[in-house]
Structure 1
Amino acid sequence: MTSSPRVLIGHGTENDFVVLPDPDGTVWAGGRLDAAVVRRLCDRRAGLGGDGVLRLVRSAHVPDAPAVLGEDLDRCEWFMDHRNADGSYAEMCGNGIRLFLHALIGEGLVDRAACADGLLVGTRGGPRRVGATADGSYWVDMGPAREFGRGSAQLDGRSFDGLAVSMGNPHLAAITDVDVDTLDLTTPPRFDPELFPEGVNVELVNVVEPAAHVRLRVFERGVGETRSCGTGACAVAYAALVAEGYREGTVVVDVPGGRLSVQVGPETTVLTGPAVLVATGVLCPEWLPA
């Protein structure tokens, strides 16, 4: 590992990340970016703080990229190596991938003008196309929302029924009349481990306007409550449409960290929102593990 690896700090609707530029896979090669280092980076008191880590790296330097990308490997020059704050691997993050492209552009690794029609990026949830809009925001083709049952989450002494939706990662989107701002999300919700054997992101949702506008809070597996969740926004938009008898439409999704727009279609889901880089710097040798 180099003595002073570069780091960036950024967020998408306040879903924040430590971003590690490593285009050639030399800075964090092998097992250097292990779970313990990720946890230290994301520690909000002893580290930099974040909901996760994003490594900017070419797919050719990611050992498991061929398995998750298959025949699309050669089409994905870049791979979003995403870890949750607890050090576990994450399949996909709509807020993270917008920040990923924003950081690639900021680092001079891709040209913004060339991203209007989208750049195919590898993730552990498969390839995703992400593009830059004329107004400075970013859009992501998140793939189709796939429902796989109904379940419930137990939280704050209540049970919340919801729709199980996969966006490459699992979600339970629970629409409720209980004001989500009154709920205590400091402890993990309980859920059905048979329906969600790998854990689940739980979204608690209030409808502002049926099939058009919702607001949510989310407890993300491996992280805790976050200010925003891009895949969660997509799952919730889909669930809100289904609740009104629709399978497609555009839904405004308000999260604690801002506002997102989700367009649900018969074949795919497109998420649009901002991405912001806050700071750049280097990791001090005295902080790095021996």
Structure 2
Amino acid sequence: MPHETAPPRYYPAIWISDVHLGTRGCRAEALLDFLRHHESDYLYLVGDIVDGWQMKKSWFWTQSHNDVVQKILRKARKGTRVIYVPGNHDEAARPYCGLDFGGIAIRSETEHTARDGRRYLVVHGDAFDGVIQHAKWLAYLGDSLYTLALSLNRAFNAVRHRMGLPYWSLSQYLKHKVKNAVSFISRFETLMADEARRRGFDGVICGHIHKPEVRDIDGIRYGNSGDWVESLSALVEQADGSLQVVYWTPHPRARHASTEPDLPNTAPAPAAKEEACAS
């Protein structure tokens, strides 16, 4: 059966973050395609869904960006529990934490209990980024440089596409190769795990650094849902409660998802639930 006519794949929970609607780098068509092919009881929007920083500089909003918003609202109307945890780029939504709009619960952070009984803290993660907290001007500068790198990426990859070569990310290459960037990511992941441990959680799920990941850090399960600018990734809960990163590859004729296997998990599988943490 062709993929386009196959029924949507079901997961107990899906986490997406760092979509950056309102920017030219946002891959809204890919996310829309992913949302059409996946259903879940819970859909967590883990921050930076709309990029208020860039929209203050210049307005960019295509029909595909609007379609993503409408698709999420439609899922909420049809019974999906949608929880929105604003990030630093969409911090304008934070004064509304604790309220529900259009079937979407806005929370500063939240808790998810997976089917294997693990309790996860769900938070965007910018509160654990020292640059955001103590040198916001530097964060704005970094964001501008990242936007420039994405612009160069588009031009560079347009040439690669005409040559029949695959997509290659300049910004991800720099982020993963530059020593200070690698060190920052490692510190961020450790801080997130430490916070989950301190508060009595079994794991933490976040976004912010655009690096999809599922791994154990000293006994704490760390999950990052990645982004919809370059990695085109989401985090999903499997039927047994385990977590996986899903990379979505939209293709005109053969759309498919590839996954990274989670660590082995043999715990029992109670029903999933979500509880809002205090704002």
Q: TM-score range by the shorter chain?
A: under 0.3
TM-score if structure 1 supplies the norm length?
A: 0.26
Higher RCO (Cα < 8 Å, 6 or more apart): 2
The structure carrying a bigger helix percent of its residues is 2
Query: As a proportion of its length, which structure holds more strand?
Result: 1
